[in-house]
């Protein structure tokens, strides 16, 4: 029992740190991308806020049941952000980064659902596997988000 709690604490701490670190940093912009940047900025802010919320939730070390509920909520919020990214009309030079961001945010939603399911089922082995996927997808989302932010002059850091 003690070992499971210790493992869960490490899992929560590591997850929060990795997710926040993967999605934060960068700067820049050009005239052709400024309009897109204005439309991207609120989506960027929403994504940064959500990532911060995930980190705070994990740092609070909730019970498995509470973690499952929170992560299901995060999954829903990531799906909303993905829909907003999909609704953006990027200029040609930002199309691939925007598509990469959309795909990565969709993967983050999937990872959040997987972590929620694993927590609800008290399956740390499945939670670890989903966390590995979450970290990988966070890095992809962070890289795409930072590149778009740099090229549009949107705020990169919270």
Residue-wise pLDDT tens digits, 26-42: 334 445 678 888 999 99
Query: What is the rounded distance in angstroms from the CA atom of residue 125 to the CA atom of residue 134?
Result: 14
Beta carbons within 10 angstroms of residue 155's beta carbon: 13
pTM across the whole model: 0.76
Query: What is the rounded distance in angstroms from the CA atom of residue 146 to the CA atom of residue 139?
Result: 10
Residue among 89, 125, 95, 108 at smallest CA distance from 46: 108
Q: Is pLDDT of 100 > 80?
A: yes
Least confident of 16-30, 74-88, 100-114: 16-30
Residue 114 is classified by DSSP as: H
What pLDDT does 143 receive?
A: 92
Q: Is pLDDT of 25 > 50?
A: no
Q: Is pLDDT of 146 > 50?
A: yes
- Confirm if 156 and 27 have CB atoms less than 8 A apart: yes
Q: What is the CA radius of gyration of the chain?
A: 16
Residue-wise pLDDT tens digits, 45-60: 999 889 888 888 877 7
Query: What is the rounded distance in angstroms from the CA atom of residue 129 to the CA atom of residue 134?
Result: 9
Query: What is the dihedral angle through the alpha carbons of 8, 13, 17, 18, rounded to the nearest 10 degrees?
Result: -20
């Amino acid at each position: 029992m003690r070992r499971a709690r210790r493992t869960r604490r490490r899992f929560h701490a590591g997850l929060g740190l990795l997710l926040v670190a993967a999605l934060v940093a960068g700067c820049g912009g050009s005239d052709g991308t400024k309009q897109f940047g204005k439309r991207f900025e609120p989506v960027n802010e929403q994504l940064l806020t959500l990532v911060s919320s995930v980190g705070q939730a994990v740092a609070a070390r909730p019970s498995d049941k509470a973690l499952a509920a929170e992560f299901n909520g995060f999954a829903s919020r990531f799906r909303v952000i993905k829909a907003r990214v999909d609704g953006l009309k990027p200029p040609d030079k930002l199309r691939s980064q925007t598509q990469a961001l959309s795909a990565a945010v969709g993967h983050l939603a999937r990872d959040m659902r997987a972590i929620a399911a694993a927590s609800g089922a008290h399956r740390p082995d499945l939670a670890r596997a989903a966390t590995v996927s979450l970290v990988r997808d966070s890095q992809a989302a962070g890289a795409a988000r930072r590149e778009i932010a740099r090229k549009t002059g949107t705020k990169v850091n919270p």
